Structure 1
Amino acid sequence: MQFGDVLRGLLEETEITQKQLAAELNLLPATLGRYIRNEREPDIETIKRIAKYFHVSTDYLLDFQSGRTFSHIEDEVLRIFRSMTSEQQVIYVEQGKAVVRLNQKEKEAKSS
């Protein structure tokens, strides 16, 4: 997948318009449109600003995977987690732990 495809997906997921993103990042709307259409590639500083804005890694934006690769669902969980406040992250982790404990109890009950 190319950079513009990833960026388009993030815009759709977050329901942010190109115009809104361009204003937030101090980019010309036409320049952002070229990125999305894969007609032009942003410089590294712009890539970093876009990654920070969407709470994703630059590797995610560039569709680069090194070492261990994550499944789509793992990427989604990480993206959601990074978009939360610190307080929301603590709650999210505690809820995840509760689900794991519940699953473990169910497994133990079935094997007994």
Structure 2
Amino acid sequence: MELGNVIKDKRNELQLTQEQLATKLHVSRQTISKWENNETYPNLDILISISEILNLSTDELLKGENNNVVEKISLDVKGKKKYKKMVTLFYTAIAITMIFLGIFSIGHHYQVEKIDYFNPFLKTQTSYAILPVTNKPLPKKDIYIQTDAYGNGFWQYVQAGIIDKDEHWAMVQHKGSYVYSLKLIEKKYWGYPRGKYETLDYLPYDKKGPEPRTSSWNPFH
């Protein structure tokens, strides 16, 4: 006998209405009706309560000919486990993504070259810089790399060879703060429009100045 028929027969035997049984189980009368018509089935917790109220063992409720409720409950449990696993994987993926975005953001802001190098969101671009004139190879030195015509950019350590007074400007290929290459050029090849009084002279980094050695927190540009 199917579960719904077992519940209905025992309810009638105890002279309980659907409404009375529903009240005892804290469910709606419509729910009882659906169970008894085998349209839906109760979960495991409710089955235990039904067993106690109707004075039926769980074996009597679950066993019987054409009673496939055990299989349905098993499928339901498996479905819930699968859903929980998918939710866990989803939130794990979000957490990992947020961690990487945080690393890329911090690395970009504090100009950690290796992090910018591995940041997949940053594009390789060509910018321009003014270098000091020197008759010997330039060791690592703070250079302002200008990234647009409005003077925006960042300070970065740059290493170069001998720099002539006629070629102490440079094209810089970089990805964020990671510098791939630097090419010395003449002043006339400076890549941005210049104002009337812009001399494009080298200015050393001033630790007390208003421009800190940091970039944007945005890891995407």
Q: TM-score, normalised by structure 2?
A: 0.28
How far off is 1:39 after superposition? 0.2
Structure (1 or 2) with the larger CA radius of gyration: 2
Q: Tell me if 1:48 matches 2:20.
A: no
How far off is 1:54 after superposition? 1.4
Residues 19, 29 of structure 2: 8 Å contact kept:
yes
How far apart in 1 are the matches of 2:4 and 2:57?
15
Residues 34, 40 of structure 2: 8 Å contact kept:
yes
1:9 alignment partner AA: D
Residues 6, 63 of structure 1: 8 Å contact kept:
no
Q: Tell me if 1:63 matches 2:63.
A: yes
Indicate the percent of aligned positions where both proteins have the same amino acid: 31
Tell me: higher relative CO, structure 1 or 2? Use CA pairs within 8 A at least 6 residues apart: 1
Residues 2, 64 of structure 2: 8 Å contact kept:
no
What is the aligned partner in structure 2 of residue 18 from structure 1? 18
Give runs of ≥4 in structure 1 deviating > 6 Å. none
Q: Tell me if 1:31 matches 2:31.
A: yes
What is the aligned partner in structure 2 of residue 72 from structure 1? none
Question: What is the CA deviation profile of residues 38-96 of structure 1, one whole-angstrom value per residue up to 9, with x for unaligned ones?
Answer: 0001100010000011121111112359xxxxxxxxxxxxxxxxxxxxxxxxxxxxxxx
1:33 alignment partner AA: S
How far off is 1:32 after superposition? 1.0
1:54 alignment partner AA: L
How far apart in 2 are the matches of 1:31 and 1:24?
13
How far apart in 2 are the matches of 1:34 and 1:63?
19
Q: TM-score, normalised by structure 1?
A: 0.55
Q: How many residues align?
A: 65
Q: Secondary structure at the match of 2:42?
A: coil
How far apart in 1 are the matches of 2:11 and 2:55?
12
Matches for 1:74-93 after TM superposition, within 5 Å: none
What is the aligned partner in structure 2 of residue 91 from structure 1? none
How far off is 1:11 after superposition? 1.0
What is the aligned partner in structure 2 of residue 7 from structure 1? 7
CA RMSD of aligned residues (A): 1.5
Which has more strand, going by share of residues? 2
How far apart in 2 are the matches of 1:63 and 1:17?
24
